Structure 1
């Protein structure tokens, strides 16, 4: 799946509730990557994004660099609520409900782009509340 297809699939999923242009959709994908990269070990993050197209890998690396540049640790323990709060903050969203809906849409498309085994490996690193939520997305 290339970046254009990935972004379009996320936009299609979002249309049910939120209408975003391509640039804003990419920023929301970046916000989810920002939060997800905080929760995975660097090695798991590398394995996770290895299956993504180069343009999406670049977005992932940009988000990791931004996060580390803000002084965050490589791995941050995040509950589901903290994960969604991070997406809400990074995405400049008005509500946690919007953050949750957007995150579900992005994760759903990620599940199409990443092999089931790699998705399971990534999900295994999450705390139980976030693990259950991501698995259901």
Structure 2
């Protein structure tokens, strides 16, 4: 999947009016996820993503310890949306990333996060993506 297709899919899933908004949502979610994951895990997850998007995961200061509520707050601040929208943005972006991730990569990501992050994977699990 290329950059334009990725953003188009995010735009569609989030019902956004432009690809610019989709890019902002994607950047907000993946930068925040990159901050929470260990550097190696962020790089592994970034590998199958378009070059313009993978850097969001890897450019952040990785390995930070914060709660799911803080994760959603950071996404909301970066995307300039309310927390409820930010939580949905995160689920939609992670769902699409899970479709592109190889093998058990999403299982590795999920295993690295505390149980309270379970909501982040809700849409991906609903689509029965085999990890």
TM-score between the two structures when normalised by the length of structure 2: 0.85
CA contact (8 A) 1:123 1:134 kept: no
Q: Report what 1:76 is aligned to.
A: 64
Please tell me whether residue 85 in structure 1 is matched to residue 82 in structure 2. Answer: no
Q: How many residues align?
A: 123
1:1-137 maps to which residues of 2 (within 5 A)? 1-15=1-15, 19-62=16-59, 64=60, 68=61, 74-93=62-81, 95-130=82-117, 132-137=118-123
Q: What's the Cα RMSD here? A: 1.5
Q: Deviations over 1:111-135 (max 9, x none)?
A: 11112401111111111110x2123
Give the deviation of 1:57 after TM superposition.
1.8
Contact 1:39 1:125 in 2 (8 A): no
8 Å contact from structure 2 (residues 90, 120) kept in 1: no
Corresponding residue SS for 1:77: coil
Gaps of 5+ in 2: 124-131
- Relative distance call for 1:115 and 1:28 in structure 2 (3 A) is same
TM-score, scaled relative to structure 1? 0.82
Q: Is the 8 A contact 1:78 1:127 kept in 2?
A: no
